[in-house]
Amino acid sequence: MVEHDCSDEHGKSGMASLEYILRNFQFERVLSHDTRTKLVYVLGRVEDKPAILSFERMAYDDKLCRELAARTRGLKDAVENNIYGWAEGTVSFEGAPDTHIKSIFPATELHVSKYSEQARLMVVETPALYENITLPYIQQLPAERIQWVRNILDGTSEADRVIYRQEKEFVILPDMKWDGSPESLYWVAIADREDILSLRSLTQEHLGLLKAIRAAACRLAQERYGMTQEQLRLFVHYQPSYYHFHVHITALSFVDAPGVFVGQAHLLDTVINNIEMYNDYYQRATLPFTIGERHPLYALFQDAQSGE
């Protein structure tokens, strides 16, 4: 195969730039389309390797709301009934972005199944099932899966976005899902150690870290946006997508933030409290979780159950 010379198209890390991926994307199929959140994932190929792009309609900037009426063009299918009227139209603000775009390239099979339309199912994980199924699954995951985390920790990526760094403890930075508005604040705190795989690893040894993350997140949200602790929701995912310990920091006003639902989110305050009561709470607890039916872990749980 002739290698395409795109040295100037690649970033510092040698990975293809978003611009390059967009220009060379050969569409294959839609993976999923959430018409409520206006988020679509499409699969395609770049340089003959799988690539995933997501396009998400952004909210109107508050400052532009006063111009919405004047910027509306091309009304279609207008209906008027008494005092009510509705139609479809185009509102455009030149130069103002209206879509949040993300790319994964090269994408793995795991990414393709993660972003494909699928049912979510409830799995009940006992400590024994964790030891026999989940832990071996985590241990065989390729190390490159969390390369993005290492890049943040060692400063090779997103260095200019890091909001706070507590040396050898954790960093706090915007989650890639954050649209930048305080009402939908979405930060992530990443522990600067690789031995905490998930909630299952936590014991009293980690209380200092958990409390320091909580204190820093609250202080930073207060300093930057005047938000109080009561306006924040700090939580941990189980199962997470990445088995390197991290805490999600979101504004409570972001009512339907992705991944805040029961069956995946565990409030940090509850986690701290449980560990304070019992050092080995998360090693002894049965933890139900929801998972996509195409997730490889779900297949492993199914195999285990059919073998019972």
Active site residue 10: no
In the bound complex, what is the minimum distance in angstroms from residue 220's beta carbon to ligand G7M?
15
Report the candidate in 195, 190, 167 with the shortest Cα–Cα distance to residue 236.
190
Q: Which is nearer to ligand G7M, 158 or 179 (CB)?
A: 158
* Angstrom distances, CA of residue 266 to CA of 45, 83, 202: 37, 47, 13
Q: Which is nearer to ligand G7M, 242 or 281 (CB)?
A: 242
Q: Which residues bind to ligand G7M, rule: CB under 6 A? A: 148, 158, 173-177, 188, 237, 240-242, 259
- Give the active site residue among 100, 111, 246, 248: 246
Catalytic residues: 246
